[in-house]
Structures are given as structure tokens and as C-alpha cells.
Amino acid sequence: MDYREFSGKTVDDAIIEAATTLGIASSELDIEVLSKGTSGFLGLGAKPAVIKAKAKQEVSNDINETLSQLTKPGKKKSKKPVEKKETETKPATKPETKSEEKKEFKNEAPKAPKAGKSDFNDLNDELDEFMAKGEEEVQNLEPAEIDDSIIDETKAYLEKLFAAMEMEATIDISLDKMTRTMSIDVEGPEMGIIIGKRGQTLDSLQYLISLYINKKSDTYIRVKLDTENYRERRRETLENLAKNIAFKVKKSRRPFSLEPMNPYERRIIHSTLQGDKYVQTKSEGEEPYRKVVIFPKKNNRY
């Protein structure tokens, strides 16, 4: 990614503008200050601060390009044995977030896509619904009767998937029967390909794996697919972005609309700012273009 110029009243304002435009946290920017700007005399002759900035780590240019890479034959490599670790974790208490509406958890498998529903926007709608359901809080559940063979079947499914892409991968699977959650961690030398732009490819793969598993299970199993600790890194990026934009809103007293996000990522933004006494958040629009708006609280000034 090439450097781009950004300006603001101060260097900090220019950095916030860069982070906002590029959709990343300010800590992930490579910055060069071109001019610190001047305030002038009584507002006359004022000059803005100017910086050059780019992302430290360049992501894939487009989700469609990434998806095409998944099916594109690559260089053949010596196959390493795929490792599997089976662990049954203790139930973990998930933090409660109030910003998005909660839905009643139902012990049933998701429906398969309707026939003829091949439009990419329709797939995005289904994926957004799946991501929202996958992050619901599970309460008052007893250990489910789930056959452990589902772990072996999932492993075999993933082995075929990565073999078709000619990618080396080590797969770690754990199944928590209390929360009905299967956690899958994949490691390998080319994991950036399956992450995709802002995790869209990873989300799509997680959705497909969930469909596969829940066609075989009488009990609905939530699937969490991760690689290279991407989920946690993405959460940190969104939390930093939320704080950056909130600071800008506090100073300008003007609302700011973030880019469209899936329900899970919107919930992170809401959760990050729910305790802020100067700003509040709300979601606007329809899927897949639904986005978070951050705006100042009327009675509190920064």
C-alpha cells in the first residue's frame, strides 16, 4: 500500500483522519509528519498539519480476489501430517453486551441456503445472520449429548478442504458440550489467504463448516474458526478504532458513521463505548450495509 496524505488542525487530528479513512487503529499506521501546521494570528494564516500514512500490514485487495486464490492451484509442497488435539474445555462465562438485541437460543441446526439463492448479496445476508447467532450468549444449558465422532468428521472435512487448496495446515479442535461450541484453530504457512480482507474469507469458511457440522448433528453446535489469533487481533483493532472515532466525535460534537460491519463487529464497537459518558452508539441501515453511528451525548460535553 502506498503512502497517502492526510491533514487536520493538529497532527493528532490528521492521524485520526488517517485511521478513520483506512479503517484501522492508529497504532497500525506507518506515519511520517510532513508539517505540524500553524495556528496563525487570530485565525489568519493558519496552516493545517499534514502527514503521510499507510497501513503497516497490507491486507488482500479484494474478497473476490482472495476467494479466487482459494481455488487456484498453487505450488505443490511436501505434505506434513495434520495434527489434531482433542480437548473438552470447561464452560466459560461470556461477557454480556446490551447494544445489540439478543435472540433466544434455540437448540436446532441452521437451515441450508434456499435453492437458487446464488446472488452474492443473499449469501452475505445469510452470513451476517449466522455471525449474529454464533455470538449469542448461551445461558442455563446442560451438557449436550454430542457424539465425539463429530470432531473426527470435522477434521476429515477440513483435511479435504486444505488438500484441495494444496495448503499445509495443522488443525486443533476442541468441543465444549456445555456451551455447544466447537473451536477450531488452524495453523500453517499461508493462513493470510484464508483470513481474507478484514476476515471475510475466514467468516465464510466458518459459515460453511457450521453448515456441514449441523447437518450431521441433532444438537445445534456453534463453530468458532480462527487462525494466527486473528479474532483477538481484529477485536483489538476495532476497539482502538472505536476509541479513535469517539475522541474525534467528542472534540467536533458531530456524529460519525463507521463503515458497514457484520453484527459481531458492530457489537464490539457498541461494547467498547457503552461506558463512555460523552458519546453513545446506535446501528443504522439494512444488512449488509448496516453500520454503527457514534454521536455525542446531549448533556455531557468533553
Helix axes 120-134, 200-216, angle to 10 degrees: 70
Q: Of 177, 209, 228, which one is at a domain's C-terminal end?
A: 228
Angle (CA) 200-205-210 rounded to 5° is 125
121 in any annotated domain:
no
**288: closest CA among 133, 135, 117, 121?**
121
282 in any annotated domain:
no
CATH number at residue 144: 3.30.300.20
- Provide the pLDDT for residue 8: 84
- Considering the domain architecture, whether residues 80 and 170 belong to the same structural domain is answered as yes
Looking at every residue in the chain, the average pLDDT score rounds to: 75
CA–CA distance, 185 with 196 (Å, rounded to integer): 16
- Provide the pLDDT for residue 206: 93
Q: Is the pLDDT of residue 91 over 60?
A: no
- Amino acid in the structure at residue 235: R
Q: Which pTM value belongs to this model?
A: 0.55
How confident is the model over 32-45, as a mean pLDDT?
Answer: 74
- Considering the domain architecture, whether residues 88 and 11 belong to the same structural domain is answered as no
107 in any annotated domain:
no
**Binning pLDDT at 50, 70 and 90, where does residue 127 land?**
low
- Considering the domain architecture, whether residues 33 and 87 belong to the same structural domain is answered as no
Indicate the pairing of strand 49-55 with strand 29-35: antiparallel
- Considering the domain architecture, whether residues 198 and 183 belong to the same structural domain is answered as yes
- Provide the pLDDT for residue 133: 52
- Considering the domain architecture, whether residues 21 and 84 belong to the same structural domain is answered as no
Range from 29-33, 75-79, 145-149, 238-242 carrying the lowest mean pLDDT: 75-79
Q: Of 228, 254, 287, which one is at a domain's C-terminal end?
A: 228
**What percentage of the chain has pLDDT greater than the value 90?**
31
- Considering the domain architecture, whether residues 49 and 145 belong to the same structural domain is answered as no
- Considering the domain architecture, whether residues 144 and 54 belong to the same structural domain is answered as no
- Considering the domain architecture, whether residues 79 and 52 belong to the same structural domain is answered as no
- Provide the pLDDT for residue 283: 94
142 in any annotated domain:
yes
* DSSP H helices in the chain: 11-22, 63-71, 120-134, 149-164, 191-195, 200-216, 230-252, 263-273
User: What are the tens digits of pLDDT across the range 202-231?
Assistant: 998 999 999 999 998 888 999 999 999 999
- Considering the domain architecture, whether residues 176 and 68 belong to the same structural domain is answered as yes
76 in any annotated domain:
yes
- Considering the domain architecture, whether residues 86 and 45 belong to the same structural domain is answered as no
Q: DSSP state, 148?
A: T
How confident is the model over 51-74, as a mean pLDDT?
Answer: 55
- Provide the pLDDT for residue 36: 84
Number of domains in the chain: 2
**Binning pLDDT at 50, 70 and 90, where does residue 38 land?**
confident
How confident is the model over 234-244, as a mean pLDDT?
Answer: 91
Q: Which residue has the higher pLDDT, 13 or 228?
A: 228
- Considering the domain architecture, whether residues 152 and 83 belong to the same structural domain is answered as yes
- Considering the domain architecture, whether residues 31 and 80 belong to the same structural domain is answered as no
Q: Of 195, 228, 261, which one is at a domain's C-terminal end?
A: 228
DSSP 3-state assignment of 86? strand
How many other C-beta atoms are found inside a 10 Å radius of the C-beta of residue 202?
A: 22
What residue numbers bound the domain in which 5 lies?
A: 1-58
Q: Is the pLDDT of residue 60 over 70?
A: no
154 in any annotated domain:
yes
- Provide the pLDDT for residue 41: 61
188 in any annotated domain:
yes
79 in any annotated domain:
yes
